[in-house]
Amino acid sequence: MISKAGNALNGHLDHRNPLVFDTRELGRRPGALKRLTRSVDAPGSPVLGIDGVIGVPEGAPLELDLRLESVMEGVLVTGTARASAEGECVRCLEPLTIEVDADFQEMFSYPDADDRGRSSAADPADDAEDDEDRFFLEDGLFDLESVLRDAVVLALPMQPVCKETCAGLCSECGIRLDENPGHHHDAVDIRWAALQGLAETVQDGEKDNMGGAEPGVDEKQEK
C-alpha cells in the first residue's frame, strides 16, 4: 500500500494527473464546500482491484463523484467511484463482469496542521507513526489514487461468482454442471471393489477349469 503521508511530503503532485484534485478555491474557510464529478481512465500497475482475482482493467472508464469540504485540519473528501470490474468465477472459471460502487471518505490534512496544539515534549517517533496514517495536501492539491485503490478492493468480492447458484465444475471430469444438470458419475464403494475383482478372477478360473475337463471326460467314455 502507498504511504499515506507519501506523495504530498516527498514528491510533487502533477495537476495534469486526472486523479489529482485542486482544493485551493476552498480558501481554508471551514465549511466551504465543493462538489464535482470526473470521468477518468482506471490506473494500472498494479490492477485496480484484487490482483489475479478481479479488478477494473487499466484504461477502463471510472466515474467519480466527489464532495470536498474544508475543515480546520484540512479538506475532508467524500466520494463514490463507479466502474466495471472483470475477473472469473471461482466455481466454474467462466469470465464475469460486475458493476462496482466504491464509497470512501478521507481527510487530507494541511502540512502545517500537524504543528497546531502539539506538545513540545512529543516523541518524534510517535509523530512519524502518526504521519504514516495520514494523507497531506501539497500546495492545495491531493492525489486520490491510494484512497481509490483501497476503496475498490474493499468493494469487490474476494471470491467472485457468475451467479449465486453456480454449481461449478465436476470434480472428476471438469464439465460445467450448470450446462449439464443431470451429469453424474457412478460411485464405486472401495470396500467392494476388491471383492468384485476377486469374484471376476474366480469366474475366469472356473471357465478355464471347465474348458480343460472336457477332453478327460471324452477319454473315459471311449474306454
Check residue 183 and give its pLDDT: 83
State CA 103 to chain mean position distance: 16
Domain ranges of the chain: 20-113+124-155
CB 60 within 8 A of CB 42: yes
Check residue 178 and give its pLDDT: 76
H or E segment to which residue 198 belongs: helix 190-222
| Residue 205 pLDDT exceeds 90 | no
Angle, alpha carbons 174-178-181 (nearest 5°): 95
> Can you say whether residue 49 is alpha, beta or left, with left for phi > 0 and alpha for psi between -120 and 50 degrees?
left
Percentage of residues in the chain with pLDDT exceeding 90? 53
Beta carbons within 10 angstroms of residue 138's beta carbon: 17
| Residue 7 pLDDT exceeds 50 | no
For range 49-70, the mean pLDDT: 95
What are the pLDDT digits (tens) for 134-143? 899 999 999 9
| Residue 219 pLDDT exceeds 80 | no
Choose the weakest-confidence range: 9-13, 52-56, 90-94, 115-119: 115-119
User: What's the chain's Rg over C-alpha atoms?
Assistant: 35
CB 114 within 8 A of CB 79: no
Cell of 22: 485542486
Strongest mean pLDDT among 128-137, 186-195, 197-206: 128-137
Angle, alpha carbons 18-30-15 (nearest 5°): 15
CB 162 within 8 A of CB 176: no
What are the pLDDT digits (tens) for 34-47? 999 999 999 988 88
| Residue 80 pLDDT exceeds 50 | yes
What contacts 173, CB < 8 A, 6 or more positions away?
185
| Residue 72 pLDDT exceeds 80 | yes
> Can you say whether residue 198 is alpha, beta or left, with left for phi > 0 and alpha for psi between -120 and 50 degrees?
alpha
| Residue 209 pLDDT exceeds 80 | no
- Where is pLDDT greater, at 218 or 71? 71
Check residue 6 and give its pLDDT: 42
| Residue 103 pLDDT exceeds 80 | yes
Check residue 45 and give its pLDDT: 86
Check residue 135 and give its pLDDT: 94
What contacts 45, CB < 8 A, 6 or more positions away?
58
Check residue 106 and give its pLDDT: 97
What are the pLDDT digits (tens) for 154-188? 999 999 999 999 988 888 888 887 778 878 787 66
What contacts 167, CB < 8 A, 6 or more positions away?
91, 92, 177, 178, 181
- For residue 181, cis peptide bond before it (omega within 30 degrees of 0): no
Which candidate, 150, 137, 166, places its Cα nearest to that of 68?
Answer: 137
Which residue(s) pair with 80 in the sheet?
65, 103
For range 186-192, the mean pLDDT: 66
CB 27 within 8 A of CB 6: no
